[in-house]
Structure formats: C-alpha cells, structure tokens
Structure 1
C-alpha cells in the first residue's frame, strides 16, 4: 500500500499480483468536505482506517460498500470495476458496529440469510450457516434470537453472516466499539484468528489504536479527508508524523530542524537525542521517559531539562498523567505514590527531565 506523498521511512509499494485485491482511489465531494484516499491491498491483507471524527473513515467505508457514489477516482476489486455495481451485487460483506441482526430470525437464519440471497436453497443455506456458527463456537446458540445473545455472541453472529457469502471484500465498521472491556478482549482475539484465515481483503474502521495494532497488517491514517500516514503498525507507532497519531500511540511529538544530535524546535528549546540527523526532523518520546522533580536536579545525567508548570492531572491506566506547559509542553506518566510525594497539583512548578537515549529522532 503506498502513497508517495505520505509514505514515511520503511514503507513499501506492493504491486497487486494479477490484478487481484483492492485497487481504489476514493474521491467524494460533499459540500465543503472532500475525501481523496488511495487504497491498495492484496488478498489476505487487513487494512485499518484510523482518524479523528469527521476525517472521512466512515465515508470511505460506505463508498466501498456502494452506499455512497464516487465523485471521482476508481474502485476495482480483483480487477473488476465496482463503481457502478449496485451494493446488493457487490462481493462485499459488512459487519456493523451495532450488528444489525434481524431481530425476528434465529442466529442460524441470520447467518443463512446471505447464502439464500445468493441463490442457495434453504437447506444449503442453513447447512452453511451451521458450519459458520460451529466455527464461531456458537453452535449451541443457533436457535437463539438476537435479544437472547450477549454482545460478543451477537458480534460473532454478525461476522459469520458477513463471511457466509464468501465475500472478496470484508468491511468492518467499529466492530468492537459496542462491547464492554472484557468481552472486547475476547472478541478481539477471536476476530484476529478469523481474519488471519480470511483469504480476501478486509478493511477495518476503528477509533481504537489497540484494535488497529492487533488486527491490521497495514494502517492508513486519515485526517481531513486525506491520508497523512500509512504503513505497518509498528512503523507508525515508532514514527508518528502528526499530533493525532502521536496522541493515539501515546508519544510526545515535536518537529524541528536537526543538526547532529540536536533538534531545534521552532519557537521552543532544543532537544538532545542519541540519533544523528541533519535537516527537518521529528523528535518523539513516551510520557514514561519523563522524570519530574520539584527542585532543579543536580548531577542528573539527563541532557534535556525544562522548567514547567502542571496544567492538569488525570488517571491514565494505573498511573497519573501530568500535562505540563512552560519551556516545553509535554505529558509525563508517574505512579500515584510519586505524584503524592511531589505534591503535584495544577499550577505547581516542576522540572522535567528526559535522557537523550529516550528521544527518537527521524526525518520529517
């Protein structure tokens, strides 16, 4: 998957073999909003679309499903043009956030609905559905109506219904968003297993970076209708290129001009890093790399030291995250015990230190 304008270090430009897979440039103009996104994927690839609200992720998914027409560009699946193909005739399966199961049908008949629509007899469709429910560990719930299913069970029925038609493109719209934390963990693991066995293209829309990192082979980050970064999950997590992505993966991110082991920030201080670069650069470090002190530390090995004020405090997992302003705006993570010992509160003055070895610098 590639976009020359947005590719970062280490990203490749795969070519679709024999025309198989997804080859799309999705251009949609709706009022003042313009979506212009290029997507390519081979069979077996799982692509995750990430981005803030209003970025265009759901619009892209609805275009792929045939629910919104293209203004421009193209949409090809396995070398076949889908632009003018009605939604019901596309080899596309969709899993919705709210499942959208038929309330009057059993789990078995919900799954059988797709094969029936594709011409299978009632017996053939129900046999196919039974096999999919067995695969999803739901055979014991075949006769249950949706209202009798848990959220995780309903989501697996929805996935089985989408896969039972043997689609060449599987679309998943926030498939785990409606689940509680514990169920989400279990269903995510099961979904990963089923996607690993899926031999066509899958496109996942999600706000959750963990869902994207666990489920996807490729991430495509969309902001304001355009791709701002794409690549393997590990590459994006290590080298974010926008504030949104940095926040998503939990990093402090800055942009400046590198000269050797120093990155000069525009209108800010210089950061010392272990990386040796020249030219426009990003510098990033995790909040956990920051140590806080109420008094200026003496004899510290940290090459980066700034006087800051505490702008806010919030619980972040099992730690306290301090948002700091001053010489450098940054986030710092510390234990509740450390926060209490430092007597942290909004407005308190602290010294923030980060070792040069904890700061990664890479070309902008």
Structure 2
C-alpha cells in the first residue's frame, strides 16, 4: 500500500506546526534520560507510516531511546507524545506500543499461535477472537503451517516473524524493533530483511528500528536518525545521509573518506600540520565545487589511485605522499589504510596491490581527481 504520511524530503512532519506544536498523529518525542556519566537528549518526530531507524555506535544511546519509548526507562525530562496523547506517565502495559526484542523473547511453552494471541487476550479479547486474529497474522507472515509449533521448533527467521506478528497483534500505534535481524545468520538475514521490509510497508502507524547495521537501516527505513554520545548528529533520508555524512562514524558506515576544513573557491584547506610534500603546508583538497567557509569533503576509497613514485604527469589535481599502515581483504578487492599527507583508505585490486608491492610501511603517492570529490557546507 502507499503511505500518505511519509515524511517529505524537507524533513518536516505532516500535521506539525512550524512552531513545533505536537502533531495530532504520529510520534512527537523529546527523550531526556540522565544517568550521570551518560545523558540521552534526543528529539524524534515521525508521521504515521514512517519507518525511522536509530543508528549509532555501541553506547550511543540507541537502546536507551528505544526503552524510553517503550516505557521501560523513565524520562528525566522532555516528553513522549503519540497521536496527540502524552504517554510520559502511562505504564508500559497500557501504551499502544508493540516491541520486537533482539532475542524475540517468545514464550517457550506456548505455540506460535498462542504467542501471537497472548497480547489480544491481555487486552480483553476472547480466546476465540484472539486466536482468529493470531491465525490471520501468521498467515500474513507465511507461517500458517507453523501455528502449532513451539519456539524451539522454529528457525531463526520464523521466530522473528512470530515475534513481529505478536507485536502487531495488539494493533500498536508505535512499533519498536530492537536489532530485529541481529540474531540471524547472513543467509537468513537477506531473506528476512526483504520480508520485514514488505511487512513494514503495510504498517500504518510509526515504526522505530534500532540497529548498528547500515544496510538494515538503509533498506528498511524511510529516515535515519544517527545518534552519537546520546545526541542526534545527523538525520535525513538514507540517500541524504549516505551522500553527505557529517561525522567520521557515518562516513565509515557508508564507506567514504571524510574531511572537514575551510573552502576558498575550489580549494579546501584540511586541518593538519603537513601535507607530506615537505613544504610545511597543511593538506589541501581540490574540488569541483566552488564554496567559501567551513565545509566537508568526501570521496570513496575507489577514487584513490596509488603510485610508488610521485606521478610526473597526472590529471589528478590531488596528490599526497602517504605510508601504508594496514591492508585487508574487502570483498574482491584490497583495502589499504594510509597515513601521512592525508589519512585515508584506498581500494584496489589484488593484482594492482601485488604490482605495487604494497605492504605495511610502504611509501606511496595517493592521487584523487577533483571530479571524484564532493564538497558541501559543514
């Protein structure tokens, strides 16, 4: 089905006033949790039909945010609004929230059908009504033939879908998924990710996904919210975040070399003490964009060409003397970590690496064409 409530490209949320008035529908939250040494301070807004991914390194606050949304961690400040109703003081069991935990936490003594029927029964449905709803959800998940199976008889992918059906059975207005694919092996993960995407596309309320896996976030979410040290450092569509990373963590996730500096036309002066040429000047990156002031510059490792000697004639405007500090297999290529004139990573074929005689400690020249860089305001 098509969602009419998707967040538009400009980042505004339908039904939200310009002054920040809580939307009548959807999620409008400001989560403040103070644990002394760690403080979470994150604002989240999403319209019905949106799938939002909370992405960040370990310890960033993703799980704390999810638990605060579920009511499992009390707020020390801010608010939690859902469909125009404040839930700050509402007990977890009374919130219109469904949760899929990382380990699924299915009741081991109940069948798949009764696991899914458990929520509706707790909300007052008769046994027959709850079982009918559970059967319909299991059929929708492609698990009708496994309705009578206990969790120990289910595969990882099947257990994940039962957990999702159980979360949906109470018709939540907010669906929370905590690393929903983390417990699966790589082969199963591929199939279940595609299935989960289809199920989330049919979900008419707000879904919030917590993950450390950029592929899960990029495939499943309409919008990414990146958290570091308890704060939002970047948010936007997956495409926006991938094209314009604003922290080293994000750049690493999407596979880009990222630098911050000051632009003067097509030249960006990057913070540093020496560019590797012995001239004493700081690193400089030449770009095709004409900008002034603080900027980010990014380029992929595949844009880097390595040479054992400084190229006498090259169309690449950017050249830095570097030293190889590490090498590792990266798919069908070799990824080399370099330091010196500019700290960067470069991807090259195994044949090219062998011909260059690359090894940790080897001195090389790295070149990048200006057309392969991307500069944007910081």
Superimposed CA distance per residue, residues 341-361 of structure 1 (whole angstroms, 9 cap, x where no aligned partner): 211110011111111000000
* Matching of residue 289 in structure 1 with residue 303 in structure 2: yes
Partner residue in 2 for 1:56: 61
In structure 2, distance between residues paired with 1:284 and 1:133: 46
Q: Deviation of residue 295 (structure 1)? A: 1.7
Q: Which residue of 1 aligns with 2:139?
A: 134
Query: Aligned equivalents of 1:62 and 1:128: distance in 2?
Result: 27
2:127 to 119, 122, 142: 122
Alignment partner, residue 213 of structure 1: 218
CA contact (8 A) 1:304 1:353 kept: yes
1:179 and 2:193 correspond? no
Structure 1: stretches of 5+ with no match in the other structure: 1-9
SS at match of 2:49: coil
Structure 1 consecutive aligned stretches of length 4 or more whose deviation exceeds 6 Å: none
| Distance in 2 of aligned mates of 1:266 and 1:109 | 60
Determine the C-alpha separation between the residues in 1 that align with 2:341 and 2:108. Answer: 58
Instruction: Indicate the residue corresponding to 1:311 in structure 2.
Output: 325
Superposed displacement of residue 31, structure 1: 2.0
What is the Cα deviation at residue 165 of structure 1? 0.9
Contact 1:114 1:164 in 2 (8 A): yes
Equivalent residue of 1:52, what SS? coil
Normalised by the length of structure 1, the TM-score is 0.96
Contact 1:92 1:167 in 2 (8 A): yes
Structure 2 residue runs of 5 or longer lacking an equivalent are: 1-8, 17-22, 273-281
Match of 1:279 in 2: 293
Whether the aligned pair in 2 keeps the contact of 1:51 and 1:223 (CA below 8 Å) is yes
C-alpha separation in 1, matches of 2:165 and 2:217: 21
TM-align CA RMSD: 1.0
The CA deviation at 1:287 is 0.5
Paired with 1:211 and 1:161, the residues of 2 have a C-alpha distance of: 21
Q: Distance in 1 between matches of 2:359 and 2:298?
A: 26
* In structure 2, distance between residues paired with 1:72 and 1:15: 25
Q: CA deviation at 1:14?
A: 2.3
| Residue deviations 1:144-163 (CA, integer Å, cap 9, x gap) | 11111111111011001101
Which residue number corresponds to residue 359 of structure 2? 345
Shift of 1:274: 0.8
Count of residues paired in the alignment? 355
Contact 1:11 1:232 in 2 (8 A): no
Work out the CA distance in 2 between the residues paired with 1:12 and 1:107: 39
73, 79, 86: which one pairs with 1:74?
79
- Kindly indicate whether residue 375 of structure 2 is the aligned counterpart of residue 361 of structure 1: yes
Please give the alpha-carbon distance, in whole angstroms, between the structure 2 residues aligned to 1:123 and 1:320.
59
- Aligned residue for 2:107, secondary structure, equals coil
